[in-house]
Structure 1
Amino acid sequence: MGYVFDFFLAILLTALSYYIGSLILRKSLSVVHALIIGTSVVLLGAITEALNAPMSLIIVVPFPVGMLLLYLFLKESVKTWFMTYLLTLAIYTVFHIVVSYFFSFHSLIPAWKLS
């Protein structure tokens, strides 16, 4: 049950970072689009992990999917997409720092355990 909970929590936190990032720049993604991106990114990371890929691939492989889906769903210029993506990564990193350090939840960035 622990893995399933961690999986869904990772999806929720990932989707939330995309949603908040788009809200801050007033280029709002729908909740459904944010959940699609979050699910895709986390699922791809989980599949990569299940294939016993090195940690670097588990972290790097989901990035292009998240970037592409964000671009497709935003329907904005490359500059706006890039700024939204950078903001999303910053929010995602803050989420990771908080949940990894205080709650020993390392599923967002597995190679960067803070507790």
Structure 2
Amino acid sequence: MRSVTLAALALISPSALVAQVLDASLPAPARAQFLTMPSPKSIAADKSYHERIFQIRAQALQQKTADGGVLTPEHLASIQSDLDRVNDRYLEQLRRLDPTSASADGRAAGFFERCSR
């Protein structure tokens, strides 16, 4: 058995052996990936989102100082509600700007949804 294995290895050229080893060590991609350039609308959405998050942070820090170093449960709930609203709006904007976005029933939900009307 050992001689058969050695004979088989002798038949394989060194370059083919190296190619097989290199090919075997490369991970398979999980899914096809492609690059897209950000649109002016997505850049504006990102900028608006970050500005609003920093405003909420500044308000939270002011409120924390006014509350004596610890936010009251009412103020914390208010800030969390603001954050949830801003995050939901931002995610909806991104979904609508994404041409590959689909709704739960498989229909186009992003850019192509508006084009198909």
TM-score tier, shorter chain, comes to: 0.3 to 0.5
Identify, as 1 or 2, the structure richer in helix. 1
Pick 1 or 2: higher relative contact order, CA cutoff 8 A, min separation 6.
1
The structure number with the bigger radius of gyration is 2
| TM-score, scaled relative to structure 1 | 0.33
With normalisation by structure 2, the TM-score equals 0.33
